Structure formats: structure tokens, C-alpha cells
Chain A
Amino acid sequence: GQNIDQPTEMTATEGAIVQINCTYQTSGFNGLFWYQQHAGEAPTFLSYNVLDGLEEKGRFSSFLSRSKGYSYLLLKELQMKDSASYLCAVRALEGGFKTIFGAGTRLFVKA
């Protein structure tokens, strides 16, 4: 089976840095995704990690440690528009090739 854990909610201040953690347990690990989802909209792709280490893309960075079953999404220079849900998702080769989502972390950015 698979299990993905991330905090339910976080609050941060505009201009600050926030780190959203995700831990997972899965068999046949084939990569970890982070998605952003604004209310009423479809998820949009942010990052993909399949090897250990940090991937940086503009204000967003994502880190993966496969041995620890751990990832984080780092958001820098927070903007009000970053208020959204952030979904950690794991791709696994288990009974087929599929991506399973965590419950999501709702981020509130305040002025």
C-alpha cells in the first residue's frame, strides 16, 4: 500500500520563506511530484523529483530523500497569489503505473 502525509494547513507572511514537508511510504517508487491547486481550479504541475537532492525552479524548490521517504517544497519570496493548496504526489509502479496524491497542504499567505 501507499501512505502520504503532509500538514493540513500552514500560514506564512508575504515575502517570507515557507517549507512544506511530505513523508511517504510506497513500493515501486518512481518519482515524487508537487502540484499547486487554487480553489476551484485543476492542479498545476510544480516539480518532479526522482533522484535525491534539490531541484530549483525560480521561487520554488523541491527536495527528495528516497532513503528517508521524505520531500519538501520550498517557496521563497512569498506572494499573496501563492495562497493555495499544495499537493504531494507519489508515482509508483504497483499494480500498474499510477500517481497517488496526499491530502494536500492549504497555505495561507498573509500581508
Chain B
Amino acid sequence: SAVISQKPSRDICQRGTSLTIQCQVDSQVTMMFWYRQQPGQSLTLIATANQGSEATYESGFVIDKFPISRPNLTFSTLTVSNMSPEDSSIYLCSVSGQGDYEQYFGPGTRLTVT
């Protein structure tokens, strides 16, 4: 199984600012994903982070708002830009290996926007 760490674990940010969340995996993985989980809700896929190319975004999510980087097979970042209170949520990094059906989740970053 993969061990995933996320930084920061939580943050309180002001409206209009940006926050970058880091995801580090202890082994090389093929697939990396970013999810959002709003209070009392299930997980919504934001995008698939592709190594060496632009991320693939789901409907309703755009690169200008959620820029993603993935410079190698063990690390990715998600930036939440120009934040508003509606962005208050838990952001989760998730990984899966090639041929590995299990998908693992990081501990999440709890973001509060005031």
C-alpha cells in the first residue's frame, strides 16, 4: 500500500487569497487524483494529475481556479486560487498504481475560507 502525506493538514485563509496543497507519496504511482469533500457530502473528483502534462479536469472545475502540478511520479500540488467561502472544504489527494486496483487517500487538507 502507498503512504500519502499532505501539507498543510488544515488552514484558515482569507477571501481572495490562494493556497497550495502538497501531496507526497512514498512510492512511484501511475495515477494521482484530487478530490474535494464539502461538509456532510461525498467526494467529488476535481481532476486527474498527469505527470509531465496538463491535468484533466472534471466538469465544473477549471485550471484557472484549481491549477495542478505533477512534476514527477511521487508528488503533486493543487492550488485553490482567489478563494471564497464556498471553497471551504476538505481536499484529498488520492493515488493508484498501474495494474493496482486499490486507490489510496491522503489524510486530507481542511480548508476554511473567511
Stretch at the interface among B21-29, B39-47, B61-69, B72-80: B39-47
Closest A residue to B1 using CB positions: A45
Inter-chain contacts of A44 with B (CB < 8 A): 105
Q: Is A57 an interface residue (CB 8 A)?
A: no
Q: Are B56 and A95 in contact (CB under 8 A)?
A: yes
- Majority-rule SS of B interface residues: strand
Q: Are B107 and A99 in contact (CB under 8 A)?
A: no
Q: Are B104 and A45 in contact (CB under 8 A)?
A: yes
Interface residues on A, range: 20 to 34
Interface residues on B, range: 20 to 34
Q: Are B45 and A43 in contact (CB under 8 A)?
A: no
Inter-chain CA distance A33–B103, complex, in Å, is: 9
- Majority-rule SS of A interface residues: strand
Q: Mark A36-59, 1 if CB is under 8 A from B, else 0.
A: 000001111100101000000000
Q: Are B43 and A43 in contact (CB under 8 A)?
A: yes
Q: Are B103 and A96 in contact (CB under 8 A)?
A: no
Q: Are B103 and A99 in contact (CB under 8 A)?
A: yes
Given the known inter-chain contacts A31-B101, A33-B103, please indicate yes or no for A101 contacting B48, CB distance below 8 A.
Answer: no
Q: Are B33 and A103 in contact (CB under 8 A)?
A: no
Interface residues of B in 59-114 (CB under 8 A from A): 92, 94, 96, 101-108
